[in-house]
Amino acid sequence: MKVKALAKDVGIPPRKVRLVVNMVRGRKVDEALTMLKFVPTPGAKAVAKVVKSAAANAENTFQLSPADLRITEIFADQGRTLKRFRPKSRGHISPILKRSSHITVFVSEEQ
């Protein structure tokens, strides 16, 4: 049984989150959380929070053992983009795009 957890509009660009997501894909939940604890990027903290949430959903809703859970699918999609502008010389402006991401994690019990 696949159990899902989702974090929307995390204030980190998906390109940076995908670097962390690719490290933990296919690993056991305990192993993934241990790895994420020692990764120094802000994206690791956000991914760890979603992985913990998926494990808690599996444990509380479907009574699955957290020790047997494995991350089957994990991905980071683009969320909304805040558009800001910065003044430049001679009356021009340049856009600043503050990107956000949606992090989705599926865990399931390994056989």
Question: Per the confidence metrics, is the pTM higher than 0.75?
Answer: yes
The structural domain count of the chain equals 1
Q: How many CA atoms lie within 13 A of 29 on its CB side?
A: 25
Q: What's the average model confidence in pLDDT over 1-25?
A: 96
Give alpha helix (H) positions in the chain: 14-24, 29-37, 42-62
Q: Are 2 and 104 in contact (CB under 8 A)?
A: no
Domain membership of residue 62 as a residue range: 2-109
- How do residues 72-82 score in pLDDT, each as one tens digit? 999 999 999 99
Q: How many CA atoms lie within 13 A of 47 on its CB side?
A: 33
CATH number, residue 77: 3.90.470.10
Q: Are 11 and 17 in contact (CB under 8 A)?
A: no
